[in-house]
Amino acid sequence: MTEQPHDWDAREDDASAPVRRELDALRARHRQDPPIDLLRAADADALPDDLQQAIASRLERDRWQRTLVDNLNDTTPDLDHAAEDRLLARIHQEAARDSSARVVRFPVVWRPILALAAAAVLVTAVVLRMHPPTTTPEPATTTTGTPAASPATPSFVLTLDKPDVRLTANALVRRGAGQQPKFVDDVAPALNAYRAGDYQTAEREFERVARLYPDAIEIAFYHGVTQLWLNDPTGAMSSLEAARRLNDETFAPDIAWYLAVANERAGNVAAARSELTTLCAGSSDYRARACDAVARLK
Amino acid sequence: MAEFDAVYRAHVQSVFRFALRAVSNRALAEDLTAEAFLELYRRQDEIDVSRLPGWLLTVVRNKARDHWRRQQVERRYAEQEVDSELSEAPAIERWVLDSADLKPVHRTCLMLRYVHGMSRTEIAAATGLSETQVKGYLQYALELLRKSYQKGAAT
């Protein structure tokens, strides 16, 4: 809501001149009104509880806002036929993807062969455990490659890249429960494994240190990114939401971006778009990428 | 499958319109609509058609709430420092709300443009009108306001 529109044309300027002072006063009177999108959402009872109550009550008492919302509801456009068909095709496509993602059922004749193959894998694993390789294990991926655990996944609009590790100033003084401030030492194994692309180890280490430092945003955030690299978008969403609840502004855009990535991979396109829309309206480094992606996300 | 398609055709418009009211963003409203119907597709054996479209609207509503939670609207709203006391409406406000000469569409365009500061493009997106239509409605509404003011009706 801008205080003084700057895009009036000459005709509007002329026509409004006699009532300019009254319009200015009206604008000032409604400057503090809740945003129109929130008013409409409250009218649809679609806001989180506390906010719903506050805005719905306002909507009930203010005839200006009530009229505006009613009129907008009356002019809400329909889906055109093309969009209606496109959405139906998308639903069928998603539903087909669901069924192809279900467990593959092998014919009975294959089962002995598969059992033998499984046994061979087991023996190999036991031998390797008894005689571990002396060299450092190959990382699961490189920083620019695709995740090692990645199956033949559909292509996504949002590419997964790997954010560099950075620590907040709090990291230097952070204490675990009843411990001396040695956060950096404790978290080092997880972060080193993450940097090396050894995401399985990183995942285990992040799980461990998350219990020691439940308020450390670095752990929650990089844990979430690690889970993304392990093709676990649901786990990633949970870790990234936990990171968001810690309310650290410096990580907020990163969290939003990776939540968008996780949501797209989990099939929650609306949630991904919602994150991207916020980023696109902001001023972080993710802005351009988010604006581009939100336009391409189907 | 054919049955699902028929259910979709029967309810998609009302679900989409509700989604658009709930999130005020066309692309997002389409996403929510698609996701609600996908949920129905997955659970079509459990959901009785007599519960439609209410069941679909509930799915959309819940997803819209998740959307607003992610937008951290609480903070955005708090920043508005809303004054809960409403003073008496000035004459021009009463005219905008009550004038019998204004049709709802004129009133809406006038409110959004000259009070809430929206551009013609934004108004077109919010109302589903074309920008040319918005321009025409604005011209008419502003002219009416000016004439009423000159006659003393809006003061």
Reported ipTM: the value is 0.87
Give the model's pLDDT for residue B73. Answer: 56
Share of chain B above pLDDT 70, in %: 86
Predicted TM-score of the model (pTM): 0.59
Residues of chain A where predicted confidence (pLDDT) is lower than 50: 1-5, 103-110, 114, 122-153
B13: tokens are: 């418009």
- Residue A150: both structure tokens together: 């990645």
Q: Please indicate whether, in this complex, the C-beta atoms of A87 and B24 are within 8 angstroms of each other.
A: no
Q: What is the pLDDT of residue A212?
A: 85
Q: Give the distance from residue B124's alpha carbon to the nearest chain A alpha carbon, in angstroms.
A: 10
Give the separation between CA A141 and CA B29, rounded to whole angstroms.
Answer: 37
pLDDT tier for residue B84 given thresholds of 50, 70 and 90? low
Distance separating alpha carbons of residues A257 and A163, to the nearest angstrom: 11
Contact A278 B23 (CB under 8 A): no
Token digits for A177?
């429960």
Q: Does A134 touch chain B (CB under 8 A)?
A: no
Chain A positions in Cβ-Cβ contact with residue B5 (cut-off 8 Å): 88
Half-sphere CA count of B136, side-chain side, radius 13 A: 7
Where do runs of H (alpha helix) occur along A62-156?
63-74, 81-101, 111-130
Q: Name the A residues in 36-75 with CB < 8 Å from any B CB.
A: 36-38, 40-41, 43-48, 50-51, 54-55, 58, 61-64, 67-68, 70-75
pLDDT score recorded for residue A101: 57
H runs (alpha helix) in chain B: 2-23, 26-42, 54-70, 73-79, 91-98, 104-110, 120-127, 131-151
The pLDDT score that the predictor gives to residue B11 is 95
- Cβ pair B27:A95 closer than 8 A: no
What pLDDT sits at residue A34? 87
Measured between CA atoms, how close is B99 to chain A, in angstroms? 13
The string of DSSP letters for B87-121 reads PPPPHHHHHHHH-TTS-HHHHHHHIIIIIS---HH
Share of chain B above pLDDT 90, in %: 46
Q: Measured between CA atoms, how close is A4 to chain B, in angstroms?
A: 7
Q: What is the pLDDT of residues B65-75, one digit of tens each?
A: 999 888 765 55
> Number of Cβ pairs closer than 8 Å across A and B?
223
Nearest residue to B23 (alpha-carbon basis) of B69, B54, B55: B69
Which residues from A are below 8 Å from B25, CB to CB?
37, 277
Tens of pLDDT, residue by residue over B107-128, are 999 999 989 989 999 899 888 8
The alpha carbon of residue A110 is apart from the nearest alpha carbon of chain B, in Å, by: 30
Q: Do B146 and A3 touch (CB under 8 A)?
A: no
Residue A76 and residue B21: Cβ atoms within 8 Å?
yes
Q: Chain B: give the shortest CA distance to residue A289, in Å.
A: 17
Taking the Cβ of residue A77 and every Cβ of chain B, the question of whether any pair is shorter than 8 Å is answered with yes
Tokens of B31: 């996403």
From the list A19, A64, A270, the residue facing B97 with the nearest CB is A64
Name the minimum distance, in Å, from the CA of B52 to any CA of chain A.
17
Residues of A in contact with B139 (CB under 8 A): 11, 15
Q: Which of A9, A12, A37 to mutate to test the interface with B (most CBs of B within 10 A)?
A: A37
* Residue range A40-60, pLDDT digits in tens: 999 999 998 878 888 898 888
Q: Is the pLDDT of residue B79 over 70?
A: no
Touching check for A85 and chain B: CB below 8 Å? Answer: no
Per-residue DSSP letter, B86? P
Q: Two tokens at A182?
A: 């040695």
What is the biggest distance separating any 2 CA atoms in chain A, rounded to whole angstroms? 91
Taking the CA of residue B103 and the nearest CA in chain A, the distance in Å comes to 10
Phi, psi of A68 (to 5 degrees): -60, -45
Judge whether A87 is closer than 8 Å to chain B, CB to CB: yes
Q: How far is CA A234 from CA A126, A169, B56, B111, in A?
A: 31, 29, 24, 44
Structure tokens belonging to residue A212: 């020691």
A99 touches B at CB < 8 Å: no
d(CA B54, CA A146): 42
The first and second tokens of residue A180, run together, are 């001396």
Average pLDDT estimate for B71-89:
61
A29 vs B contacts (CB less than 8 Å): 87, 90, 93
Note the pLDDT of residue A136: 33
The rounded distance, in Å, linking the Cα atoms of A274 and A263 is 10
Is A34–B71 a contact, with Cβ atoms under 8 angstroms apart?
no
> pLDDT tens digits, residue range B5-42?
999 999 999 999 999 999 998 889 999 999 999 999 99
Q: Please tell me which residue of chain B has the smallest CA distance to A85.
A: B9
Q: Indicate which of A76, A85, A97, A157 best probes the interface with B, i.e. most B CBs within 10 Å of its own CB.
A: A76
Looking at CA atoms only, how far is residue B128 from chain A in angstroms? 5
CA distance B32 to B91: 41
User: How far apart are alpha carbons A127 and A121 in whole angstroms?
Assistant: 10
> Using CB atoms, which residue from B104, B111, B142 is nearest to A12?
B142
